[in-house]
Every structure is written in structure tokens, then in C-alpha cells.
Amino acid sequence: MSSTPPARRLRLGLPRRVFSQVLLMQVAIAAGVAVLATGLFLAPLGEQLDDQAMRRALAIAQTTAAQPQIAEDVVGTPASVDGPVQREAERIRRATGAEYIVVMDRRGVRWSHTEPREVGRRVSTDPSQALAGHEVMEIDEGTLGRSARGKVPLRDSDGDIVGAVSVGIAYDSVRARLIHAIPGLFAYAGGALAVGALAAWLIARRVQRQTRDLAFSDISGLLAEREAMLHGIREGVVALDRSGRIRLLNDEAQRLLGVGDEAVGRSPDEALGEGRTADVLAGRVTGTDLLAVSGPRVLVANRMPTDDGGAVATLRDRTELEQLGRELDSTRGLIDALRAQDHEHANRMHTLLGLLELEMYEDAAEFVGEVVGDHRATSEQVTERIHDPLLAAVLVGKATVAAERGVALWVSDRTRLPDRLIDPRGLVTVVGNLVDNALDAAVGTPHARVEIELRTEGRAVVLQVRDTGPGVPPEQREVIFTEGWSTKERPAHRERGIGLSLVRRLAQRQGGSATVGVAPGGGAEFTVVLPEALAEPAVEAALTVPSGERTVPEEGSR
């Protein structure tokens, strides 16, 4: 049994670190390329050296056969070791470095040879092609061993073939040249391998920094966990690359946006069409908790840029929350209105009691009729022109509060508002703050009056609140929207200068604006424009609660 602890046993296979794996693979690739390049170079090198040797032998044979004296001596003198043909052939052999030069007659008898005893004997290889007038190049075996040969016909002055010349270059010399070239080739291959190893080290270091030295298995696990997390969370996630194209959509984002995998690789405008949702995802509208509409859904979107130039946007479904919030705000508005009405009702009851005690019965009946008629006219005026019950309830309550403070609250004849607001709570906040601000400005002025106008322009909502107060000087028309700025004395229980800054912030969050100017009859006129405050008609059902479940109680219903 081995005494080596399991943790110290040799582990075969690739190392776990990315740096080591990449370096090992890159070095292996560089070594393989170097070996392959060396083999590809050596394979044709031998053939090239053989071809060069055969061509050199052929050139020597052609030069030898071109001397007319040799042809004459072959015809006119016998084959002899001391003959002129042998002497001339040996001279040329020594001058050119050939292994042998053999001159033969038409019978194949040698007239020259490196070995004198071979003179006068027949050649060992077939000379028929050269004697037939053809030039021959070959690698062959002869009496002197393996050699590169060149054979040419030997012609006399008349051009007749009288023999042949055969020249041999030792094959071992060709092989020696090849072997001599190999060390230099390996030196170049080694240099290339060293450069490749250095490049592999640099690449491995860069990969190590980018992957934080995690193993490939760890990276694979992180990717799998990321996919499971992205597709498992209940918020929509949309990732965009540096060019603004969608590169990832989780399941919830596909459900909320009503798109599929075909949206990946396209821009938000191409995948969703032009609109506020595409503007928010593309970053053309900035801010936090931005509202957008996608089909029948109201979405809250947040967009965060990433280091690579892209961005990640999260989407939350606010449709059901919006319905519940509208119900709660409607209830709160009605409670505020009932509180104001209760205070006013007590004063009216005291007046009625005094008239009855004074036995002024006709005056009492007339007073009751006026009070009931005025209140009913105000409620009907609001509900006929403003179909959103939350805003209608708030304005009825504000009308009661305004009456208590001696200010007439009027709803303009141009007011028309359907019941398909995307963010009714935000609009209630805007209207409430502007009306309260206008009431504070109009109190104590002659013929104190506040007029409200709510109209639609396509999907946009335009709100105007006018008062008969002193107005806003031109140099203060921007600074009044600054948080904390106010012309009124700060009370002990709360901050001042929040209402108007909140109005502008809510308007800008929806891509709109809030400004102040001069009203036609004097005083201030606040204008708020919300460019996409209304949902499409198809969205209305998802943003509203059936009318049978939500009604505005008339006076005396409780």
C-alpha cells in the first residue's frame, strides 16, 4: 500500500490553471508548426539536391561530348589506358569534381574510366537511350556505387553518333549536403519555436488577467450559473453591447416585452419599434425607475452602463401594483375629501341650526338648497370631464378645501381626461402640489380663484394651473423648482420647497417638462407636459379596474 498521501499523489492530465493550460497548448502548437515546417522543407530539399546533381552531371557530359577531338579519338584510336580519350576524360573529371567520366563507343565499350582496368570493357548499365540520341538523367547503381548520372550521345563532325558520354556525381555527396543543411534548419526552427513560446507566454498572461486565473471548468460553471440565475429571477434583464444591439434577453424580459430570441442581435428600435421603451433601453432617456409601456403592461426600467461600453437594463412589471396603488390613492383622496367636507358640513349645520332657532324656515330651506346644489354641480363638473376616479376624487376634495379658504376652484371647459393614465399616482402628486401652491398664492386676493385645465394631445397630457396670486418674477421662474427653495416661512414640523421640485422631477422622469409663466388675468400659470402619459386603448383594460368595483360616493352615501 502506498504511503503517499492522496493530496500529494501525481495528477496526470492538463493543469487546472488557465495560464498553464493556455501556455502548454500554445507551446505545443508552436512546436508542432516548427516540426511540420521542418518536415515540409526537408521533403523537397532531398529531391531538389538530387535534381541539381543530375543536372550538373548532364551539363558535364554535354561539355565533354561537345569536344570534337574526343569523337575523333574514339573513331581513330583504340581503347587504351594511356590513350588520348582517357587522358582528356580524367582531366575534365578532376576539373569538375565528378566521380567518373566514361566515354564509350557504339558497342558500349569504355574508352575512359576512373579505374584503368575497366577501360576496354563494356559498361555495366544500359547505354541504349544515349546511343539512340537521347539525353538521360537518373540515379542508378554502377561499378562505383550509387550515383547521380547524366548521359548524352557523342557525335562526330558530321553529326553521326559514334558513342556516348556518361558522367556520375557521387550520391553520398548529395546526402552529405542535405545532412549539412539540417543543423541550420533546426536552428531556424528553434528560433521560431522560442518566439512562439514567448508569444504564447504573453497571450497566456493576458488570458490569466482577463479570466482572473480561473480554471476553464470554473469559467464554465460560472457561465452555467449565470444562465440559470438570469433565467430564474423574476425581473426582466436586457443586456446590450457597445453598438447598442441586444445580446441577451432572459425569459422574464421576453415575456414582459413580448419578443423572442429573434430580438438578439438587433437594436431596441428594430426589436420593439420606436417608443419610450426602446428609448429607455437605448439610453436616450436617462434616470431611475423610468416608466414605460409594453403592450398591456406598465414597466419600471433601470439602465446601468457596463465597462465594455454596453449596458444592462432591468425591467419590473408594475401593472398589478399600479392597479392596487390606484385603489389605495383613490381611497385616500376620498378620505381627505370627506374630512374637508365634514369640517364644512359642521359650519353649515351650525348656520342651519341658527336659522331654525330664529324661526327663519324659508331662509333655512333656501340655504339647504343652495348648499346641496353647489356641491352637486362641483362633483358632476369634475366627474364628467375627468374620467380617472383618483384625479376626480382629489379635485372634489381640493374644491372643498378651497371653499373653506375662500378660493373658488374651477375646472376649465377645455378639460377632458380619459381613464387610461399610465401613472395616475404621479399625476395626482403633480396636480395636488400645484393646486396647493396655487391656493396658498390666491388666498387673500380679490376674487381669489384657481383654474385647472387638463387636456390630451395624442398620448400626451397637458396640465395648466392658473391662480390670481401675485405671480412669479421672471428671475425666480427657474429657481422655484429647486429643492429647498421657498418664499414661505419654514414650519417646525416639515420642510419647505419640496412640492415644486417634486413636480418637475416627476415630469422629467416621464420625459416631460414643468414651467411657470404669467396667467392671462395676472398671477402665475404652471404648465406641465407629459408626452406619453396615456396608454394605448388596448392597454386600458390592464390599467383600470372595472367601474362596478370603484365608484365615487355622492354626498350622503355614508
Contacts of 333 (CB under 8 A, 6+ apart): 390, 393, 394, 397, 428
Contacts of 327 (CB under 8 A, 6+ apart): 545, 550
Q: Assign 431 to helix, strand or coil.
A: helix
The region, left, alpha or beta by phi > 0 then psi within -120 to 50, assigned to residue 324 is alpha
Distance of CA 553 to the CA centre of its chain: 55
Q: Assign 469 to helix, strand or coil.
A: coil
Q: What is the residue type of 426?
A: G
CATH number of the structural domain spanning residue 32: 3.30.450.20
75 and 119 inside one domain: yes
- Interatomic CA distance for residues 496 and 483, integer angstroms: 8
286 and 154 inside one domain: no
Total Cβ atoms within 10 A of residue 550: 16
Beta bridge partners of 239: 248, 312
- If one counts the domains in the chain, the total is 3
Distance of CA 320 to the CA centre of its chain: 33
464 found inside a domain: yes
53 found inside a domain: yes
pLDDT (tens, 9 = 90+) of the chain, 558 residues, equals 444 444 444 444 555 566 666 667 777 777 777 777 766 666 676 677 778 888 889 999 999 898 888 888 888 888 888 889 989 999 998 888 888 899 999 888 999 988 888 888 888 888 888 888 899 998 776 666 667 889 999 998 888 899 999 998 876 655 566 666 667 767 777 777 777 777 777 777 777 666 666 666 666 666 677 666 676 677 888 999 988 899 888 888 888 888 888 888 898 888 888 777 888 888 888 888 887 767 666 788 888 988 888 899 988 887 666 556 656 655 665 576 566 666 666 777 877 778 787 878 787 777 776 665 555 546 777 888 888 888 888 888 788 778 778 888 888 889 998 888 888 888 888 898 899 889 888 888 888 889 999 999 988 999 999 999 988 888 888 888 875 556 555 444 344 456 787 788 788 878 889 999 999 888 899 999 998 888 877 544 444 444 333 333 333 333
185 found inside a domain: no
Total Cβ atoms within 10 A of residue 125: 17
538 and 423 inside one domain: yes
- Interatomic CA distance for residues 156 and 71, integer angstroms: 5
Question: What per-residue confidence (pLDDT) applies to 153?
Answer: 93
Total Cβ atoms within 10 A of residue 494: 7
Question: Is this structure's pTM higher than 0.75?
Answer: no
342 and 445 inside one domain: yes
Contacts of 127 (CB under 8 A, 6+ apart): 104, 108, 151, 164, 166
107 and 171 inside one domain: yes
Domain extent at residue 138: 22-177
Output DSSP code: residue 406. T
Question: What per-residue confidence (pLDDT) applies to 490?
Answer: 47
325 and 309 inside one domain: no
- Interatomic CA distance for residues 409 and 432, integer angstroms: 13
Relative to beta strand 246-249, strand 236-240 is antiparallel
305 and 340 inside one domain: no
Last residue of a domain, one of 317, 341, 360: 317
326 and 310 inside one domain: no
Last residue of a domain, one of 302, 317, 332: 317
Query: What is the chain's percent helix, strand, coil content, to nearest 5?
Result: 50, 20, 30
385 and 516 inside one domain: yes
68 found inside a domain: yes
Output DSSP code: residue 489. P
DSSP string, 310-335: -EEEEEEE-HHHHHHHHHHHHHHHHH
413 and 285 inside one domain: no
- Interatomic CA distance for residues 405 and 50, integer angstroms: 118
- CB contact at 8 A, 237 and 314: yes
Question: What per-residue confidence (pLDDT) applies to 175?
Answer: 59
397 and 539 inside one domain: yes
Relative to beta strand 311-317, strand 236-240 is antiparallel
310 and 327 inside one domain: no
Strand order in the sheet with 236-240: 246-249, 236-240, 311-317, 297-305, 290-294
Last residue of a domain, one of 266, 282, 317: 317
Beta bridge partners of 150: 137, 167
CA nearest to 101, candidates 130, 61, 73, 67: 61
399 found inside a domain: yes
C-alpha cell at 254: 421576453
Torsion 65-69-72-74 (CA) sign = negative
Relative to beta strand 449-457, strand 408-411 is parallel
Contacts of 348 (CB under 8 A, 6+ apart): 367, 371
CATH number of the structural domain spanning residue 535: 3.30.565.10
- CB contact at 8 A, 23 and 204: yes
215 found inside a domain: no
186 found inside a domain: no
113 found inside a domain: yes
Question: What per-residue confidence (pLDDT) applies to 404?
Answer: 75
C-alpha cell at 130: 544515349
Task: Scan for cell 504564447, then name that residue.
Answer: 200
- CB contact at 8 A, 136 and 193: no
